[in-house]
Amino acid sequence: MRLHPAQKQFLRSDEPYRGLVAGIGSGKSWVGAYDLLTKAKPGRLYMVAAPTYPMLRDATLRTFLDLARHLHLFRALNRSELIVTLLHGAEVLFRSADDPERLRGPNLSGIWLDEASLMAREAYDVAIGRLREGGERGWLTATFTPKGRSHWTYDVFGRGAPDTALIKCRTRDNPFAPPGFSEQIAQQYGGLLALQELEGEFVDVAGAEWPAEYFPDSIWFDDWPKDIMIKALGLDPSKGKDAKHGDYSAIVSLGRCRQGKIWCEADLGRRTAEDIVHCLIERQREFAADIVTIETNQFQELLATQISTEAKRQAVPMPILPLVNMVKKEVRIRRLGPYLARKEVRFRATPGTRLLVEQLRDFPEGEHDDGPDACEMSLRGLIELWNGRQRQGGRR
C-alpha cells in the first residue's frame, strides 16, 4: 500500500496508546482502518467506535470494509450486529460512542476511536478499561482533528504522557488528496480555524471567555477534603424552551472548606426526565447537600415537583431552592469568572467533571454550556446558604 510519511510514522509507533491528530482530508480514517487490519491477531476481538451511528455507518464502516476487501482480509459482515469477521478469524465490533456506557462489556485486544475529538472523554476512559483479552494488554488508537488545548484529546495525547504517542499530519501532507484541495479550503478558512482544520494544530478557542491559565493542572483533586463546611447541588435539566438537541443534563456538587476554597464535582449525561430524578436523588443520598438548586423555567417546575415527591418517598432529604432564571445564561455563567481567576475552585478528576471544565474552557464558543450553567446555579445556592448562616451568626 502507498503511504505518506505521517501515516508510516503512525503505523510504526508501538506505544499502547497512539493518537493521530490530523487535518481534514489527510487520510487519518484510512490509516486508522489499515492499522487495525494489519495488527489484528487471529481469533482475537477488536472494536471500532465513531461518535454517532450515522458517522459509523456512513464513513468509518465503509472505509474499513473497502480496505479489508482490497487487502483480501474480509470474510463476513453481520449487518444486524455490526460485526466484521476477518479471514483469520479475528472479529471487529463496530459501535457508536454517543452513549459511552454502551462500550462496556467485552474484553478486547485493540480499539480504534475514529474522530475521537467528537466523543466525550468518558468514551476513552471506558475503552481503555476493556483492553485485556487473553491475559495480554491491548492497545488503543485514536484518529481525530484537534479541538483545542482544552479538549481531552490534548490532555491524553498532547502532553507527552508515558506509553503514549502523538503523530501529527497536515492536510497538505496527503499526496493522494485531490490537487489543490488544501489550498482551496484554506481560502475559505482563516487564522485559527485553518491551523486547526488543515494544519492539525491544537489551538485555543478563539473568543473563549477565560484564558488557559485559569485552568492549570493544579485545579484537579482526587478525593473530597474532610473539612467541607457547606454543600450545594445544582441541576440544569436542559429540558427548557432553549434546550438544544444533544444537550446534557448537568448535576454539579460544590462544597466550601474552612480555607474558603470551593470543591467541585460534575455529572453530565444525556438523560430522560425519569433518569434525571433518579440520578439527582442518588447523588443527594451520597453527597447530602445542604441546598439543592433546580432551574424551574417553563415546565421544568414539574420536574422539581417530581424530584421532591420521589425524594420524600425514598426518605432522602431534598432541600430544594427553585430558581426561575430571568437573566441570560451567558451573563449568569460569567459570574464564575472571578472565582476561576483567583484559582478558588478545585475540580475532581472524574469524566463528568472533566467535561464540565472543557465546557468552561470553551465558553461561550463551545457547543454546550449545561455544566457551567449548573455550576453557577450551585454556586448561587452555596452563597445563599453561606450568607444565611453568617446573618444568623451575627444575630446571636
Indicate whether 192 and 217 sit together in one domain.
no
Residue with the bigger pLDDT between 261 and 191: it is 261
Residue 306, in any domain of the structure: yes
Indicate whether 232 and 170 sit together in one domain.
no
Residue 205, in any domain of the structure: no
Q: What is the CATH number of the domain that holds 309?
A: 3.30.420.240
Q: What is the pLDDT of residue 395?
A: 46
Indicate whether 138 and 11 sit together in one domain.
yes
Q: Which three cell numbers stand for residue 328?
A: 441570560
Indicate whether 257 and 377 sit together in one domain.
yes
**What type of residue sits at position 152?**
W
Residue 202, in any domain of the structure: no
Indicate whether 159 and 301 sit together in one domain.
no
Indicate whether 135 and 256 sit together in one domain.
no
Indicate whether 137 and 184 sit together in one domain.
yes
As a three-state string, the secondary structure of the chain is CCCCHHHHHHHHCCCCEEEEEECCCCCHHHHHHHHHHHHCCCCCEEEEEECCHHHHHHHHHHHHHHHHHHCCCEEEEECCCCEEEECCCCEEEEEECCCHHHHCCCCCCEEEEECHHHCCHHHHHHHHCCCCHHHCCCEEEEEECCCCCCCHHHHHHCCCCCCEEEEEECHHHCCCCCCCHHHHHHHHCCHHHHHHHCCCCCCCCCCCCCCHHHCCHHHEECCCCCCEEEEEEEEECCCCCCCCCCCCEEEEEEEEECCCCEEEEEEEECCCHHHHHHHHHHHHHHHCCCEEEEECCCCHHHHHHHHHHHHHHCCCCCCEEEECCCCCHHHHHHHHHHHHHCCCEEEECCHHHHHHHHHHHHCCCCCCCHHHHHHHHHHHHHHHHHHHHHHHHHHC
Domain that includes residue 274, residue range: 212-395
Q: What is the pLDDT of residue 206?
A: 63
Q: 32-53, pLDDT tens digit by residue?
A: 999 999 999 999 999 999 999 9
Residue 204, in any domain of the structure: no
Q: What is the pLDDT of residue 394?
A: 47
Indicate whether 247 and 373 sit together in one domain.
yes
pLDDT above 90: percentage of residues in the chain: 59
Q: What is the CATH number of the domain that holds 115?
A: 3.40.50.300
Rg of the chain (C-alpha set): 23
Give the mean pLDDT of 225-240: 88
Give the mean pLDDT of 206-229: 87
Overall number of domains in the chain: 2
Single out the residue in 169, 197, 225 at which a domain terminates: 197
Indicate whether 216 and 123 sit together in one domain.
no
Residue 70, in any domain of the structure: yes
Q: 237-284, pLDDT tens digit by residue?
A: 876 445 454 578 999 999 999 999 999 999 998 888 899 999 999 999
Distance CA 155, CA 180 (A): 33
Residue 189, pLDDT above cutoff 70 = no
Indicate whether 311 and 277 sit together in one domain.
yes
Nearby residues of 221 by Cβ (< 8 Å), 6 or more positions away: 263, 346, 347, 348, 349
Q: 73-125, pLDDT tens digit by residue?
A: 999 999 999 999 999 999 999 999 998 988 988 899 999 999 999 898 899 99
Distance CA 390, CA 299 (A): 34
Indicate whether 232 and 156 sit together in one domain.
no
Indicate whether 281 and 139 sit together in one domain.
no
